[in-house]
Amino acid sequence: MTFSFSDDLHNFPKFGAAAFLLLSYARFASSRLRPGLLRLFSLLPILCLFPFLPFLFSTIHFRVISAFYLNWLALFKLLLLSFDLPPLSPSLPLLSFLAFSSLPIKAKNPKDPPTKFSLYSLATKAVLVSVIFSIYRYKSQLSSYVVFSLYCLHLYIALDLVLFTTAWSVGWIIRTELEPQFNKPYLSTSLRDFWGRRWNLMVTDILRPTVYHPIRNRYGPMAGVIATFAVSGLMHEIMFYYITLGKPTGEVTLFFLLHGVCTALEGWWVRHKNWWVPPGPVRPVLTLGFVAGTGYWLFFPPILRNHTDDIVVAECLALLGIGEQPF
């Protein structure tokens, strides 16, 4: 395995400068052209350049985070901008446009109650992820189920910390209160609750206007749900390519298609008021059990099969200063 945080830090200014120029052009072009196909065509060149920028990084963490920010969030937001749909607008100040276009943030509605910031919760998650990283030193001595459980916790806590830190920093700079990225997914009472109201809400918010609403308006809510999960699966497949650098297997897409069908069927089921539903205390267990079980079957194998998880673990240990550091 070959990665170098020092090389990535050296390349970060190049990445930042390229992203700045491309997004600045997007704001300039959209301010000069009417919404529609002409504006879309003017943005296509930069959308075609986005996929290459994450390859400036050798570490998986830098590569996949930059790919997520540019090749998912920025891509979808600029597609919406092409047709004058929020959250972006050419009238935004340049700094705000750059932040809202490329980062997992969304301005909070002034009518909504203020978001409660818990320093205790943040510190607890930081300690937990450090503990998980430390346990990884003994990974070879642990059962596969324990390792899988650690990976699930790692995925949630690390995502939450990265996205929260990004949002908090940007919100402080631009003096804007931002929406939270997660809403206690461990309390989810259904798949609809998990995917729609609790897990990675920035992705949910960008998939609704780009996929769900157009499909629902034409073909109905069930088709909208399944199409949304299908697109999410394809985008996750692309993100996994940036992680593994291997040929896509389709398993991640199948994972999200399965969840899309199950979520649509769940919505159809609960519309029948007299039909049986699980008791309240059991629902979070069933929901998280289904997510974990299908994740073990379809979501994680592409990473485990090529031992990409070992590289991720090595990067985590290097960040903690444990073991050999390829700085």
Res 273: pLDDT? 81
Of these ranges, 131-145, 215-229, 265-279, the one predicted with the greatest mean pLDDT is 215-229
- Contact at 8 Å (CB) between 230 and 257? yes
Report the alpha-carbon distance of residue 220 to residue 268 in Å, rounded: 12
Between 75-82 and 37-49, two packed helices, what is the crossing angle to 10 degrees? 160
pTM of the model: 0.93
Nearest to 102 by CA among 164, 43, 228, 16: 16
Res 111: pLDDT? 67
178-199 tens-digit pLDDT: 888 999 999 999 999 999 999 9
Q: What share of the chain is helix, strand, coil (3-state, %, to 5)?
A: 75, 0, 25
Whether the pLDDT of residue 306 is over 80: the answer is yes
Whether the pLDDT of residue 241 is over 60: the answer is yes
Res 319: pLDDT? 80
Report the alpha-carbon distance of residue 56 to residue 226 in Å, rounded: 34
The amino acid at 68? F
Res 116: pLDDT? 67
Peptide bond into 281 cis (omega under 30): no
Nearest to 6 by CA among 57, 43, 55, 73: 57
Res 312: pLDDT? 93
